[in-house]
Amino acid sequence: MSINIDQTFSGRKVFSRLLIISFITLASACATVDFEAEKTPSYALPGTQDTFLGQAATQRETRPKNQSGFALIPDSINALAIRLLLAAKAERSLDVQYYMIKNDIIGRLFFATLVQAADRGVRVRLLIDDITTGGMDKGLTAVADHPNIELRLFNPFASRGLRAFDAWDLQRLNRRMHNKSFTADGQFTIIGGRNISAEYFAYNNDYNFADLDTLAVGPIVSDTAAMFDSYWNHRKAIPFKQLSKQKPDDGARLKKLRAALLENLEAIKKTPYASAVSASFEEYLERKVDYTWAPYQLVYDSPDKVIASKAEAADKITDSLLHTVLGAEKSLLVISPYFVPLKSGIAGISELQDSGVQIDILTNSLASGDHILVHSGYAPSRKPLLEHGVRFFEIREDLAISGTSRAKTDKANSSLHTKAFIVDKRYLFMGSFNWDPRSAYLNTELGVIIDSEYLAAKSSKAIYKAIPRDTYEVYLNQNKQLRWRTHDENGVEIVFDKEPHTSYWKRLRANLGRLLPIKSQL
């Protein structure tokens, strides 16, 4: 299903690749972003009990000191419903930070909820990485026209039309803000792996992502607010109005946007998906949420990481993650859609495995992954790590994703997007960090390490229960050759001697990708 609102969110059409290449030669004449332009700093509003969400959070205040409450959200329908509820019930502020908000039916629904909140007088601060906003400037201009919405783009492109003009600035543009957070009234926050588009919320008929967020309450909310402020007021966060080429108008753009978003809402209301989301919305509205209270550490990169000259000295999420991982004594379960260890990473993982820690890796198969080149970077790590005893489980393309059956999209292919790890069935990390060079060295990331045996053990148990049916276990046969095994619905073992359910051409492309010197960029 698609709604044609090109007048509001228009996609930039490119006539030919040759034309783009010829334009690149004009790069020396391209515009630049004025990162030193004056902008007004702003900060998170303090939480207050005099709101619906404040009262709801207060009822959760019976907790040990310095702990926060966590409710994991693996279900895709619930993940959307709780965001819609927080936006609908916010009375003072929404601080929203995402790597991607796509111009699709879910992205437009999300924008509609923000506009509706702003209409009620809620202050909305919206921070989006600029890598995926190409062609959306008309719609974003209309959003930014709202007096209660301030939109900033992180590390933006200078060319708001044909982005090939910015090819000369690749070193800067290669570093992106990958964080995802959603904080309402200073009382509740959502952090995790989901961006905003149909495939993250079980509404894509071609493929959907298995992903994980947490709804959190307690001190972590103010910690997340401080993180958001550090990005919002950073020199790389540019007010959209400073970038926009659109002329001021008398409100016509915002009026047109409202009409387009309303049309989008009406289209969703006619689907089974709307009923499923509405049911989840009502459950959350009745406060049917079980929180696990636990010590935690909010971990994130300094926004300075996107500045090449400051990246080395910037505070990094990897410092905290490595400390937790290297403290493992018995087990480490890694869940990452993109697992691309460099030689040093392979050596470190092998050493940890040899020390007596059982390491299991859950990642995408070639069939389920959404980036062939990532698989090209990952595949060479399997054999050396398997030889040390590391176990690999690759997600099947028909993985059952929670929420898709209610959304009537369970026939679509599946892909892993969860970014998490579990240490000694005690520490659970979840967030935006992938086990790849891009997360480690180029992009900024956000996550939380939760010290909870209950959540860690519960999550671990659910994963291992699903492994026989939902993954291909990769192993070496007696001749040291890679093999993949899984089980059918009757528990019968099936063994593959090639990457399961892939064509010759897809395997060839993945193998050829290994020849490219781009592993550090994956």
Active site residues: 178, 180, 185, 417, 419, 424
| Amino acid at site 416 | L
- How far is residue 20's CA from residue 157's CA, in Å, rounded to a whole number? 16
Residue whose tokens read 């699903």? 466
- With the CA atoms of 135, 136, 137 and 139 taken in that order, what torsion angle do they form, in degrees rounded to the nearest 10? 140
- With the CA atoms of 303, 337, 70 and 281 taken in that order, what torsion angle do they form, in degrees rounded to the nearest 10? 100
Q: Give backbone dihedrals phi and psi of 239, rounded to 5 degrees, phi first.
A: -55, 135
∠ CA 279-280-281 to the nearest 5 degrees?
90
- How far is residue 11's CA from residue 135's CA, in Å, rounded to a whole number? 4
Environment class of 200 (CB within 10 Å of its CB; exposed 0-12, middle 13-18, buried 19+): buried
Grouping H, G, I as helix, E, B as strand and the rest as coil, residue 446 is: strand
Query: DSSP E strands: which ranges in 166-260?
Result: 181-184, 188-192, 207-210, 213-217, 237-239
Tokens in use for 244?
């926009």
Measured over the CA atoms of residue 197, residue 201, residue 204 and residue 207, the dihedral's sign is positive
- How far is residue 134's CA from residue 262's CA, in Å, rounded to a whole number? 23
Nearest by Cα to 418 from 321, 336, 325: 336
> CB within 8 A of 126, min separation 6: which ones?
96, 114, 143, 149, 150, 151, 152
> CB within 8 A of 195, min separation 6: which ones?
98, 99, 100, 101, 102, 180
Tokens in use for 336?
């990452």
